[in-house]
Amino acid sequence: MTVESALRGAAPHLLLDSLRTSLARSYDATSADLLLIDYGFTSLSPVEPVQAPTGVRQVPVDAGPAGRVLRTQQPYLFRDGGPTATVYLPVTVRGDRFGVLVVGLPADRCAPDTTARLGRVAETLGHALRVADRHTDRYHSARRTHALTVGGEMQWDTLPGRACAGPAFDLHAHWEPAYTSGGHLLDWSVTEDQLLLVVADGTGPGTPAALVSALALTAVRNARRAGLDLVGQASLTDQALYGQYRGRSPLAALLLRLDLGTGAVEVVDAGSPTLWRIRDAAGERIELDRQLPLGMFEDTVYATQRLRLLPGDRLVFVAHGTGGTGTEEECETPDGPVARALDHVRGANGADAPRAVVKALRASSRGAQDAVLVVCLDWHGHGTGSPGAASGRQPAPPVPDAPEV
């Protein structure tokens, strides 16, 4: 039985035990440890405490070989000239970084293709972890450095993750505070032709905000899975929130559809988070026609707007959560904190940029206590590797009546 087969057949709470046994049998591995990234993206923690003085322990995400592998997403083979070597491997599923697998091997077993084979094992482990999270709390518990609030727990259980990648795009998100906010809303769905995305500001801190976001997220998914377009998704969510809260908890949201064959974008701006575009190293805020937030009034009518992405473009969505970020002018004009933060991360890759922007905004004088969500969408262009091009299908046409931005 291969290591990958053993992982697929292992009980959810025994993934690491099965992996250690299989790696010892197939590679003479002396150790295997799984380090998972915590919710705040600050440290890598072992799935189980290691009592031995030489065992793998919690390490900062920005230091050491494990941190390096997480950041670069490239495996790393460490040799110290002794009888053993250590291989560090990224555990990532479709762009969503779970952590790092650390495998100890006899030095003479580190053939040139060993790292590549272990890389495939780490990828299989990532998929197994995603499934296991539905059946056991073991890995959820290992991802936290301290307790989550009830609102924070609700948020993490409803959001789809921190990243999603495809041949034509990369999507990465980061939010803080990661353990207590509960108010952020983020969701996506990908088909061979399109990416559907929704980003929303929180309505406040804690459990009440998490309840609003959970209702909105469920309504968006219900409309999307029923085949409704962006306007239909916004309208159904608007009705669900108004029916429950009667205008007391409106939600500022942005719903977006990206055509993966052409780069054409449709947007419904419901009083939304700010949207920025970085093109050829120049950043600009995309001025959208702001419509009423979801759930503010009964039977609000929404309309779409259009824009088009060029290969290499980056869209950045900035949601300030509870709204305690100071004035609109300070946050949104070109000389505001958002523009300055984006200016500092233009050269950062998509995975690192959201975290850097969030930290810059929360480090500002007015932003230290704010709940902030930043999403980066990098468009690579359809080319020959895009889902739409590969299928040979024609992309869906844009809505004819939508004004273009």
Please state the pTM of the whole predicted model. Answer: 0.88
Question: How many CB atoms lie under 10 A from the CB of residue 384?
Answer: 7
Separation in Å, CA 229 to CA 302, 361, 393: 11, 33, 19
Local confidence pLDDT in tens for the 405 residues of the chain:
799 999 999 999 999 999 999 999 999 999 999 999 999 999 999 998 544 445 678 899 988 999 999 999 999 999 988 899 999 999 999 999 999 999 999 999 888 789 999 999 999 999 999 999 999 999 999 999 999 999 999 999 999 999 999 999 999 999 999 999 888 899 999 999 999 999 999 888 789 999 999 999 999 999 999 999 999 999 999 999 999 999 999 999 999 999 999 999 999 999 988 899 999 888 889 999 999 999 999 999 999 999 999 999 999 999 975 433 334 444 444 347 888 888 877 778 888 899 989 988 888 755 556 789 999 999 998 753 433 333 333 333 333 334 455
Question: Residue ranges of the domains in the chain?
Answer: 3-141, 150-391
User: Token pair of 217, please?
Assistant: 């997220």
Domain at 150-391: CATH architecture: 4-Layer Sandwich (3.60)
CATH class for the domain made up of 3-141: alpha beta
The gap from C-alpha 140 to its chain's centroid, in whole angstroms, comes to 16
Two structure tokens written together for 248: 């007391």
- Give CA–CA dist 49/58, Å, rounded: 9
Distance CA 9, CA 42 (A): 32
Cβ-contact 106, 83 below 8 angstroms: yes
Residue 8 token pair: 């697929």
Give the number of other CB atoms < 10 A from CB of residue 245.
18
Contact 371, 177 (CB under 8 A): yes
Output DSSP code: residue 247: T
Distance from CA of residue 326 to its chain's centroid?
26
**Six token digits for residue 81:** 């000239």
What is the SS3 assignment for 263-275?
CEEEEEEECCCEE
Which positions ≥6 away from 337 have C-beta within 8 Å?
A: 325, 330, 331, 360, 361, 364, 366, 367
